[in-house]
Structure formats: structure tokens, C-alpha cells
Amino acid sequence: MANALPQPGTIAPKFTALDDQGRKFTLASHKGSAVVLYFYPKSDTPGCTTEACEFRDATPAITKKKAIVVGVSHDPVARQARFKTKYGLPFLILADEDRSICEAYGVWQEKSMYGRKYMGVARTTFLIDEKGRIAKVFEKVKPKGHAAEVLAAIEAL
């Protein structure tokens, strides 16, 4: 059974993970900034590439609002690094190989395609405020136009 999604107003689950360069990243080290934590199924696939490139293009506007973007999938560090380099992504991508972050945030869920059920990452974004609380949850994200939707939510913080 999948964990429930953290809800707005609750403290964001803390975690440590390796980024696309193999360095340790902790959510706690970014308290004081808003964090756009977006979960996606698999690096370098069509929908995930669309979403990442839109966040890439929106990053200057997001950083002006004192926020950072962090992508998460369960791909290994080397795949994350290739994805980041291939598309010139200016933000961190975390390798959640053991799915502990995905499980803590409730995004490791049962999915279905062509009648086959399997476990995978539900495309979901969490906007975490500067105090470390969940400000907004975007579920069942459609990649196209999502970065603009997140930027509007950051402006409303």
C-alpha cells in the first residue's frame, strides 16, 4: 500500500539523496528558500523531457522568486547526469534508486497501462515553502504547461 501524499500545511518529509553528480543533497539544507520538488517517472522519456525542459526555461523566473527546482526519479546517478547534460538542465536532479523519497512523498503508486498493473512514480510536484512546509501539491501533472502553473503558485506564496 502506498503512503499518502503529504498535504498542504504539513512539514515536508526530510530526506538525503545523491544528486546527478553523486553529491549528497538534503532538503533540510534548503530551509529559507522555497523548493519545487517534482517527481517524474523516468529520465529522457518524452513526457519527462517536456516537463524538465519547461522547468529549465522557467528556472530564471523561479530563482528570482528565491526558489529552487529539484527533480526526482528512481533512475541511477549516471542516467540523471546524462539527462541533465543532454538538455542543459540548470537544476539538481536526484537519484532515488531505493525509492525512499518517492515512498515518503506517496508518489510510488500502482499504475496501469494497457490493462497491466505495475508500480511506478506518479508525476507529482510539491511546492515547499521557506519554512519547510508543503504549500501546494500538484497531482496527476500534465507535463506541458506545468512549469508555468508552478511559477504562478510560487508568486502566490
The whole-angstrom separation of Cα 153 and Cα 157 is 7
Q: For residue 116, list its beta bridge partners.
A: 113
Tens-digit pLDDT profile for residues 10-55: 999 999 999 999 999 999 999 899 999 999 999 999 999 999 999 9
- For residue 107, the enclosing domain spans 16-155
| Residue 8, domain member (yes or no) | no
| Residue 48, domain member (yes or no) | yes
| Residue 23, domain member (yes or no) | yes
The domain that holds 121 is classified in CATH as 3.40.30.10
Give the pLDDT confidence score for residue 25 in this predicted structure: 96
Q: How many residues does the chain have?
A: 157
Cα 89 from chain centre: 13
Tens-digit pLDDT profile for residues 55-80: 999 999 999 999 999 999 999 999 99
Amino acid at 50: T
φ, ψ for residue 7, nearest 5 deg: -105, 155
The tally of domains found in the chain comes to: 1
| Residue 136, domain member (yes or no) | yes
| Residue 74, domain member (yes or no) | yes
| Residue 127, domain member (yes or no) | yes
- Residue 122: helix, strand or coil by DSSP? coil
The whole-angstrom separation of Cα 96 and Cα 25 is 11
| Residue 125, domain member (yes or no) | yes
- Which residues are tagged catalytic? 48
| Residue 42, domain member (yes or no) | yes
Give the pLDDT confidence score for residue 2 in this predicted structure: 61
